[in-house]
Structure 1
Amino acid sequence: MSAKTPNTAYNRVITLYFCLIAVIGYFFVYLVTPVSGIDEQFHFERALQVSQGNLFPQRYDRNMLGGDLENRLIAFARYFENRRDRALSSDRQAAKELADALTGQPSGRERLEFPSTASYSPIMYLPSGLGLLTSRVLHARIDTQFFMGRLGNLIGYLLILALAVRTLPWGRLGIVLLFTTPTCLHLASTYSADPLTNALTLLFFALCLRSLQADSLTRRDLFLLALSGGTLGLLKLTCCVFSAAILMVPPALFTHRRSWLLFCGGVMGASIATALLWNIVFPFVPAVYWKTGGDPHLAAHLLLTHPWHVAGLVIRTLESGAHWWWLDIYGRFGGGPPPQFFKIGETASLMTAVLVFLLALTERKGPSRPLIGALFLSIGLASVMLILIAFYVGFTPVSSAVITGLQGRYFLLAAGAIYLGAIVSLPQSADRRGIGPILLLLGGVLTLRVSVAAMEIYSQNWH
């Protein structure tokens, strides 16, 4: 057996796994009831706006953003929205007849307000927007246009995730398993901004880790690092903290240490500046829009003047929420009231968590780099704290004993950073890549089982 055989088998298993999740995602695209994904209605409206070439939202007043959208697609989505909000199943034949009627009507525009997603930059909606645009250019039916947008999001996510995994020098299998849970595939196969946010951040992590093996950095390498890290703030406000991963790029690859400091500082500064600038120009305060009872000004004041009070809220939130956040990452489906919202796969989620832990012990790794591991751990924990503070200030009712509005998927990137930190911190060990692919395939079987169960539930709501 040649020395290259294990590596070839390793890569083939990853390819096989990607084929499996692509098939699962494809079925999710067409079997999940339209606008019944997690917050899908609002993400769909922003993706439709981007597909029309309107990268910036229209402003109606300080807290209201939106735009003029293609009325036929909005009418198609509204049928499912009304059924969803009334906890009723949707009828395929009725939807087909509606699509037939709408396809034959002239195109027009309808003004809508959707500030929760209009305040997002267009980057996360480019794949779904391209899918919508392509189907519109091809004069596809209205229902086909809707599903083409979903398909574009899925393809965009899988391509960028595959690129990130290929770029990663270590930790590939665990990252693949973490970011292809049934919920991740559900999000990627609907109109969600999370998939591109996660994949692009992972790609930046991979580029930073890859630099640890480099003998030098070309202008292309520097450009990719600067572009991917400097624009993290445009994904989500809290993503700017991940730009600190640029500090793992070795100073020895630069002519002078001052050049390294300027480069790293520039990347982190650009990420923070773009995040602040975008959110100042296009602000969205959930507590005001959804009337949650939160008071951002009072919360910010308490954060500065009574930090121990806020620390107590954080501790109680972690105590009450951390145990279910992993299931939320793994088996949360749908938006709106039941039956379009449900959680399944608790046992499978626990088994997958064990598999991820075992993968960390068996994956190929380079020499131990505890400082890099500490950096990743710090970034992951800082991300968790930033998310908690953001929801405390922007969402939580003043009288609440815990921070509200949180979902497990918000912490997935932090989990990925902590996993990579563990990988690079562990000592170099014997090559056990023959074990890792088996663990990954076991995780794939669990993902398939839970995904099929979710599709069966959706088939009862979309028949």
Structure 2
Amino acid sequence: MAGYKQWIQSEIKDYWLPWLIITIVFFFSSLYIYENRGIFIHERESEHLVVNQQRNDMTLGELTGNMKLSQSFRVEENTFSRVQLQFGTYGRKNHGTLLFMLKEQKSGKVISRQKLSLSKLPDVKNFYIDFPPVHQAKGKGYIVSLEGHHLQSGNTVTLWRSAKDSYKNGSLTINGKKQPGDLFFKVLKVENKPLLSKTAFVLVGVALLLLFLGSVVLIRKCSDHLHKVFLIIAIPFGLIITLIIPPFDQFDEIEHYFRSFEVSEGKFTNQTVDQRLGNYIPISLVDTVQDVRFIHQDGFKYELVRQEFAKKLDSDHRVFTRNYASSYPPLIYFPQALGMMLGRLIFDSPLAMMYLGRLFNLIAYISIVYMALKIVPVKRKLFFTLALIPAPLILAASLSADGITDATALLFVAYILHLAYGKVNQINRKHIATAILIGLFIALSKIVYIPILFLFLIIPTSKFSSKKEYIKKFAYLFIGCMIPFVIWNLMNLKNMSVPDLRINPGVSPGDQVKFVLTHPLYYVKYFIDTLYSEGNTLVISMLGKATSNYLYQAPSIVIFSYLFMLLLFGIIKEETEISIPVRNIDRFIFLGIFSIVFLLIYTALYVGFSPVGAPIIGGVQGRYMIPIAALFFLSLSYPKIVSKDGKLGFLIYTIVQCSMFTLLLHYLVDINS
């Protein structure tokens, strides 16, 4: 007992600041959980899918005059109380009304009659029409109808429909004439119940707080082993984020979902069918996306997602689809594809495949970063902090290929630093082969990141037998990484030749290149104007201010805590690094490569995303800067500022863990709000 007391006194004396921060965060976290209890224990709507016609291939056109449309359907549940439609307003503020009616098909009895004001209809968002619950409905047919009155073109709305008769339990009629497709609609049963009982909420809250305290204790025990601390923080946070971010809510996750499935089937390139470019993917994958995407506008719809797990993969019925992520090489989708293969074998569920794809992508990210932290000889706390900023870790917990790109870029920089400053006396073929193996992921991911390979130039010539050997080995590295890049792009020429129809109108890469070459000063001005107007947003989005389609916001204190730590560890030199000289020329190389890639990213988006001659460069996102972030902060290194405080590690690990835990609690509330 006396020894235990002495240990506590020693901890408080030596590490009073980290434990004070931990105590404050624990107190405010407990208060935050309590204050937001209503989100979890008060009654809220829980939707159950009753009827689903999810095809939305085309629109009906404007609803004009006295047009009347009707959609019949059959119910296989006992109760329903909501119809979901999706209107298109053409971006206008329209005026007028639509008469909505729900009636029994057999008897013609009107169950609900409502007037819908066109001015209140949202554009391309789910619109709910509620009515008193209809009971004993199983096996019965019903009709939904919408009727306009003197609606004028240019001042009205439209609805989505399927092109073919994919829904067999009903039909669409317009002005009494049967149509080949069906209305895009859902019928739902709505219940009011809490997400968690009071007891369950208390247990979950206590479990989260215990997880926080337990991880802090483990971090303190492993504080001399930075790579182990990384695992203690990254694994639980990543696993929880993998589960709580709603399906397909991560940036471009739908495209990555389809691409991961293609790779899991060995389909590495698009095929040409009837002069169209794409691949055949199961309709059940498309249906899964339609069922659960964009349904979480007012909180995670757990019941709808749970129902989706029961749906099975139907590999026999497929649809030809152009997936723009198919232009990315299959290698960077290997973890996701492996997870989806396992999901297909074990669960045979498209949604389970998605979650397993996320999980394997996270495992790959954590494994690669773990290796980077083990080998990097300088700025280890900088690399640790970079690996745990919210954006890359959250991207890694999705199906995005950015997770592998970010991790391998960090590993490549760490490995080159290991060769330059580590205990490597002579660079041999094994070192070059390893660098090629890591570097080819960078070359394959995006062409703009290829200059990162020139980081090889920081390795002193003294580690080679001669200058000729130095040049030869650099040539091996560069050519070794470029060969897969060239091969892939030759295989992918068809896909690259077809324009991306999702980009802004007025985009013409060829004409934009001519504009930049003939008006270089204008381009420089537009580049500077873009940095001036959007530079601060770029930095905070790189750190993870908003990382999903619904833009769940990270607290500002988390973002600026990370920014402070990155700047601090970029500038100062740790005591263990005193014997490792970082030359001035090296800092120049770090900054030079960062600047070149930075400019290439902007130029690529100006050429391929922005309209010709646009005064602002569009499409730039902070996550594109993550692979080169380490180079920027390394360029800030100032060898005369040395940290000799051996207790600094636990303080920094504490701040990172507190930031991650704060972010996690914030997400749990935000996602369910």
CA distance in 1, matches of 2:627, 2:567: 16
Between 1:130-139 and 1:166-175, the stretch displaced more is 130-139
Give the distance between the partners of 1:12 and 1:394, measured in 2 at CA.
Answer: 44
Q: Distance in 2 between matches of 1:346 and 1:458?
A: 17
Distance 1:175 1:58, change over 3 A: farther
- Tell me if the contact between 1:186 and 1:333 (Cα under 8 Å) persists in the aligned partners: no
Whether 1:76 aligns to 2:288 is yes
For residue 322 of structure 1, report the CA deviation from its aligned partner: 1.2
1:456 paired residue number: 669
Distance (whole Å) between structure 2 residues aligned to residue 450 and residue 196 of structure 1: 23
Cα distance between partner residues in 2 of 1:256 and 1:8: 46
**Structure 1 equivalent of residue 591 of structure 2:** 377
Aligned to 1:241: 451
**Equivalent AA in structure 1 for residue 606 of structure 2:** Y
Equivalent residue number for residue 296 of structure 1: 509
Task: Report the CA distance between 1:109 and its aligned residue.
Answer: 4.7
Task: Give 2:636's match in structure 1, choosing from 407, 422, 425.
Answer: 422
CA contact (8 A) 1:362 1:436 kept: no
Indicate if the aligned counterparts of 1:197 and 1:235 stay in contact, CA closer than 8 A.
yes
Structure 1 residue aligned with 2:614, among 395, 400, 405?
A: 400
Q: 1:167 to 1:147 in 2, by over 3 A?
A: same
Taking the TM superposition and a 5 Å limit, the aligned residue runs for 1:22-421 are 22-59=235-272, 65-81=277-293, 83=295, 87=297, 91-100=301-310, 102-103=311-312, 106-139=314-347, 141-212=349-420, 213=422, 214-272=424-482, 274-275=484-485, 278-279=488-489, 281-282=491-492, 283-284=495-496, 288-292=500-504, 293-336=506-549, 340-360=550-570, 361-363=572-574, 364-365=576-577, 366-421=580-635
Number of residue equivalences? 445
- How far, CA to CA, are the matches of 2:457 and 2:251 in structure 1? 34
Q: Which residue of 2 aligns with 1:434?
A: 647
The amino acid that maps onto 2:356 is M
Alpha carbons 2:300, 2:672 under 8 Å: kept: no
Specify the structure having the higher radius of gyration (Cα): 2
CA separation of 1:312/1:458 partners in 2, compared to 1, >3 Å: closer, same or farther? same
Structure 1 residue aligned with 2:658, among 445, 457, 462? 445
Question: What is the deviation of 1:334?
Answer: 4.9
Residues 17 and 444 of structure 1 are in contact (CA less than 8 Å); yes or no, is this contact kept in structure 2? no
Residues 82 and 353 (structure 1), Cα distance of their counterparts in 2 relative to 1, 3 Å cut: closer
**Partners in 2 of 1:392 and 1:303 — Cα distance?**
9
Q: Relative contact order (C-alpha < 8 Å, sep 6+): which is higher?
A: 1
| Alpha-carbon distance in structure 2 between the residues aligned to 1:237 and 1:110 | 33
Residue type of the alignment partner of 1:163: M
Distance 1:59 1:119, change over 3 A: farther
- The 3 A distance-change label for structure 1 pair 172 and 325 is same
Residues 75-103 of structure 1 deviation map (CA, whole Å, 9 limit, x = unaligned): 2232112536xx46553223323332x23
Q: Distance in 2 between matches of 1:443 and 1:208?
A: 26
Letter paired with 1:355: M
Residues 368, 428 of structure 1: 8 Å contact kept: no
Query: Percent same amino acid at aligned positions?
Result: 21
Counterparts of 2:418 and 2:272 in 1: how far apart (Å)? 42
Contact residue 70 and residue 110 of structure 1 kept, 8 A: yes
CA distance in 1 between counterparts of 2:533 and 2:594 reads: 20
- Larger strand proportion of the pair: 2
> Does the 8 A contact of 2:227 with 2:373 survive in 1?
no
CA distance in 1, matches of 2:634, 2:557: 25
Q: Once the two structures are superposed, what CA deviation does each residue of 1:100-140 show, in whole Å capped at 9, x if it has no partner? A: 2x23x643352353443110011221111111112222345
SS of aligned partner of 1:403: coil
Structure 2 CA distance for aligned equivalents of residues 300 and 277 of structure 1: 25
RMSD (CA atoms): 2.7
Question: Which structure has more helix as a fraction of its residues?
Answer: 1
Task: Give the letter aligned to residue 365 of structure 2.
Answer: Y
Secondary structure of the residue aligned to 2:279 is: strand
Matches of 1:8 and 1:445, distance apart in 2: 17
Shift of 1:260: 1.4
Counterpart code for 2:414:
A
Letter in 2 for 1:164: A
Deviations 1:211-234 (A, max 9, x none): 123112343222102222245211
| Structure 1 unaligned spans of 5+ | 1-6
Deviation at 1:195, TM superposition (A): 1.0
Q: Which residue of 2 aligns with 1:3?
A: none
**Deviates most, 216-225 or 317-326:** 216-225
SS across alignment from 1:426: coil
Distance in 2 (CA, whole Å) between partners of 1:158 and 1:240 is 23
Residues 249 and 112 (structure 1 numbering): CA distance in 2 closer, same or farther, change over 3 Å?
Answer: farther
Deviation at 1:8, TM superposition (A): 8.9
The answer as to whether partners of 1:182 and 1:451 remain within 8 angstroms in 2 is: no
- Is the contact between residue 80 and residue 90 of structure 1 (CA under 8 Å) also seen in structure 2? no
CA distance in structure 2 between the partners assigned to 1:231 and 1:90 by the alignment: 35
User: Taking structure 1 as the reference length, what is the TM-score of the superposition?
Assistant: 0.88
**Equivalent residues of 1:42, 1:114 under 8 A apart:** no
The answer to whether the 8 Å contact 2:375/2:418 transfers is yes
Cα deviation code 1:45-68 (max 9, x no counterpart)? 111111222233334599x75322
Per the normalisation by structure 2, the TM-score is: 0.62
Gaps of 5+ in 2: 1-219
CA distances 1:404-448 after superposition (whole Å, capped 9, x unpaired): 11111111222211123334x634846444213412320221122
Contact 2:227 2:374 in 1 (8 A): no
Q: 1:433 to 1:40 in 2, by over 3 A?
A: farther
